[in-house]
């Protein structure tokens, strides 16, 4: 895998919806992974790609982690910053930072593996076009 931060993160803006909050009025922990995934999918679209093209490789998650730093509440407007922390032959590791008005709310990572979309779901190489289109969000070549 390639080490180091990417040149610039992708920024995805969002607002907290009421259904995303718990009885304490803060965002339920499970939503943070959804926010991270939404931002990742938006980054794919920005690169002219789809995370789920018909008949091609799929990208299921093989690891996910999140650290909380501050709460989000109903109606808060926040940003999810995504960068490709590492891209290898068959995996992509994303780093996410969720912020509100410059305050870090949460930080996390998700790792996806490229797989063939058939019943046995075998790992495959990430198509070269995908790696090339992510160049702006991936680490510099070492």
Q: Which three-class secondary structure state does DSSP give residue 95? A: strand
Q: Which domains does the chain have, with CATH numbers?
A: 10-137 (3.10.129.10)
Q: Other CB atoms closer than 10 Å to residue 134's CB: what's the count?
A: 20
pLDDT of residue 113: 94
| pTM of the predicted protein model | 0.87
pLDDT of residue 138: 64
- How is residue 89 written in tokens? 């032959």
Q: How confident is the model at residue 1 (pLDDT cuts 50, 70, 90)?
A: very low
pLDDT tens digits along 23-73 = 999 999 999 999 999 999 999 999 898 888 777 778 999 999 999 999 999
DSSP-assigned beta bridge partners for residue 77: 15
Q: 2-6, 75-79, 81-85, 125-129 — which one is most confidently predicted on average? A: 75-79
């Amino acid at each position: 895998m390639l080490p180091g931060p990417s040149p610039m993160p992708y920024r995805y803006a969002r607002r907290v919806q009421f259904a995303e909050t718990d009885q304490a009025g803060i965002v339920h922990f499970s939503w943070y992974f959804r926010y991270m995934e939404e931002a990742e999918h938006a980054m794919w679209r920005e690169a002219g790609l789809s995370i789920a093209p018909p008949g091609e490789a799929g990208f299921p998650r093989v690891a996910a982690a999140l650290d909380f730093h501050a709460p989000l509440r109903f109606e808060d407007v926040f940003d999810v910053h995504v960068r490709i922390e590492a891209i290898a032959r068959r995996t992509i590791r994303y780093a996410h930072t969720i912020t509100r008005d410059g305050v870090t709310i949460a930080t996390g990572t998700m790792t996806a593996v490229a797989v063939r979309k058939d019943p046995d779901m075998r790992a495959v190489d990430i198509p070269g076009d995908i790696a090339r289109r992510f160049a702006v969000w991936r680490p510099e070549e070492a």
